[in-house]
Amino acid sequence: MERVKLAIVGAGPAGIACGIEAKIAQIEPVVIFEKASHICDTVVRLFRPGKRVDAVYQGIEVAPIGVCRFETESKEAFLERMQRWVEEYSLDVRLNCEVNYIKKVETGYELTVNGTPQVCADFVIIAIGIFGKPKKPDYPIPKEVKDRVFFEPPHICPVGGKVLVVGGGDTACEVACFLCKNCEVYISYRRPQFFRINPINLKILEEKVTEGKIKLLLATDIEKLEANEDGRVKVCFKEGRVDTFDYVYYCLGGSTPKGFLKYIGVEFDAEDRPIVDEYYETNLPGVFLAGDIAVPKGTIQLAFNTAHIIIKRIQEKYLSQR
Ligand SMILES: Cc1cc2nc3c(=O)[nH]c(=O)nc-3n(C[C@H](O)[C@H](O)[C@H](O)COP(=O)(O)OP(=O)(O)OC[C@H]3O[C@@H](n4cnc5c(N)ncnc54)[C@H](O)[C@@H]3O)c2cc1C
C-alpha cells in the first residue's frame, strides 16, 4: 500500500489548487486522483469552445486569498493555465483513477481507486464537484423525447428549430445566446426577472431579446413534458400555456454527490448538505471538502480559496506541533 501525507480526490480547480497550496506549505507526498482522462473535467466537458470563464460568476465576487487566482479569460486559456500550474508545481496527478471508497484505518485513510485499495493517507481532501450529476426536474422525461431533452450545455448549435432553455443563471443565458445563432430560442425561468446574472451576459441577452432572437418566458414554471404526435416535445406550463419545441435544454446546475459522501461516512444536516466546519473539515477528522461540494454556491475563485483555507488548517491544526 502506497503511503502519502495527503490524498486529493478530483483534479478540478479545487483539487489542483489544494495540490499547489500543499506544495507551497511543503506538505508531501501528495497525490491527486482524477477519474477522467484529463484534468478539469467539468470545464472540458461542459464549457463550450471559446466560452468566457468569468472571475465573477453568478454575481459571487470573492477576493483571492491564496496563490491561485485568475482574470476572466477563455476556456482554452484557463485550461492552459491549469495545465501549466500542474507542471510548474510538479503535481502528481493520476488520470483515469476514480476513487470509489475511503475507509478509516488505524494508520489514516485507505483509498480504493478503480476498485482496488491503493493508497493510505494521513489527510484526504475531496474535491469532486457537483457537475458529475446535473440537477434534473421532479417530473419525468417521457422516453419518446429523451433524445431531444438535454441536461448539459451544447457544444454544437443545431442547424435550426424551436428551442426551450430552462433556467435563469449565467449558464442558461449563455446557452440561449449560443443557440439563437441558428434557432428560435425561448427561455423559461421561474422568477419574474434574472437573478445575479453576469452583467456582460445580461447585456448580450438583452440585445438578443431586442433583436427578437430570444423570447423570455419569465415567471413560468413547467408542470410536465409530453411527446407531441410529430415526435417533438410538448411542454405544459403550470400557468396553462402549452407549447411545442424541437429541443429542450435544462440549465439547472449540479447536485452534491450525496451517495458517495454518505457511503464514506460524511454526515449531512437537516437540509441535506454535508456538514463541515469553518475550515471545511467534515465529521471525519482529517477529511476535508473543497470547491463546489464544500459551499452552497460554487465558483472557481471560491474553489481556489477553499484550498488555501484547508491547507492552512491542516498545517496549523495537525502539523505545527510535530
Ligand atoms: C456550464 C458552466 C459554466 C460555468 N462557468 C463558470 C464561470 O464562468 N466562472 C466560474 O467561476 N465558474 C463557472 N462555473 C462553475 C465552475 O465550473 C465550478 O465552480 C468549478 O468547476 C468548481 O471546481 P471543483 O474543482 O470544485 O469541481 P469540478 O470542476 O467539478 O471538478 C471536479 C473534478 O473531480 C473529478 N471527480 C469526480 N468524482 C471523482 C472521483 N470519484 N474520483 C476521482 N475524480 C473525481 C471530476 O472528473 C472533475 O475533474 C460554470 C459551471 C458550468 C457547469
Task: Give the pLDDT confidence score for residue 278 in this predicted structure.
Answer: 98
Ligand 1 contacts CB of residue 12 (under 6 A): yes
CATH of the domain at 174: 3.50.50.60
Alpha-carbon distance of 270 to 275, in angstroms, equals: 10
pLDDT at 237: 97
Does a structural domain hold residue 39? yes
Please identify, by atom number, the ligand 1 atom nearest to the C-alpha of residue 293.
26
CB 307 within 8 A of CB 21: yes
- Model confidence at 165: pLDDT above 80: yes
Q: How confident is the model at residue 291 (pLDDT cuts 50, 70, 90)?
A: very high
- Indicate if 246 and 205 belong to the same structural domain: yes
Contact between residue 177 and residue 195 where contact means Cβ atoms under 8 Å apart:
no
pLDDT for 322 equals: 59
Answer yes or no: is the C-beta of 15 below 6 A from any ligand 1 atom: yes
* Other beta carbons less than 10 A from residue 273's beta carbon: 14
Flag whether 138 is in a domain: no
Average pLDDT of the segment spanning 171-191: 96
Nearest alpha carbon to residue 57 among 304, 298, 308: 298
What's the pLDDT at 320? Answer: 85
End residue of a domain, out of 225, 250, 275: 250
Instruction: Say what the pLDDT of residue 207 is.
Output: 97
Q: What is the dihedral of CA 33, 27, 117, 265, to 10 degrees?
A: -90
Residues in Cβ contact with 24 at an 8 Å cutoff, skipping those fewer than 6 apart = 67, 311
Work out the number of other CB atoms within 10 angstroms of the CB of residue 2: 12
The amino acid at residue 105 is V
What lies within 8 Å, CB to CB, of 262 at 6+ separation is 268
The pTM score is: 0.93
Beta bridge partners of 112: 101, 117
In single-letter form, the type of residue at position 119 comes to: V
Q: Is the CB of 36 under 6 A from ligand 1?
A: yes
219 lies in the same domain as 271:
no
C-beta of 300 in contact with ligand 1 (< 6 A): yes
Cβ 174 under 6 angstroms from ligand 1: no
- Asked if the model's pLDDT at residue 131 lies above 90, the reply is yes
Q: How far is CA 108 from the centre of its chain?
A: 29
Q: Which of 166, 134, 133 is nearest to 151 (CA)?
A: 134
pLDDT score for 38: 98
Q: How far apart are the first and last CA of the chain?
A: 24
**296 in the same domain as 275:** yes
Looking at the fold, whether 246 and 262 belong to one and the same domain comes out as no
Is 90 exceeded by the pLDDT of residue 124? yes
d(CA 184, CA 188): 13
Rounded to whole angstroms, how far apart are CA atoms 224 and 137? 9
Ligand 1 centroid distance, CA of 121 (Å): 24
Same domain, 13 and 123: yes
Q: State whether 172 and 288 are in the same domain.
A: no
Look at residue 168 and tell me if it is in a domain: yes
Q: What is the mean pLDDT of the chain?
A: 96
Domain count, the chain: 2
Instruction: Indicate whether 239 and 147 sit together in one domain.
Output: yes
Phi-psi region of 241 (alpha: psi -120 to 50; beta: other; left: phi over 0): beta
Co-location of 149 and 77 in the same domain: no
Residue 230 falls inside a structural domain = yes
- C-alpha grid cell, residue 298: 460554487
Residue 227: pLDDT above 70?
Answer: yes
Q: Indicate if 84 and 167 belong to the same structural domain.
A: no
Does the residue 265 lie in any domain?
yes
Residue 174 located in a structural domain? yes
User: Residue 267 above 90 pLDDT?
Assistant: yes
- Given the CA of residue 53, which atom of ligand 1 is nearest to it? 8
pLDDT of 79 over the 90 cut: yes
Domain containing 42: what range? 2-132+254-319
| Residues 206, 290 within the same domain | no
% of the chain surpassing 70 pLDDT = 99
Cα 299 to middle of ligand 1, angstroms: 9
For atom 37 of ligand 1, which residue has the closest CA? 128
* Cis amide linkage into residue 137, ω under 30° from 0: no
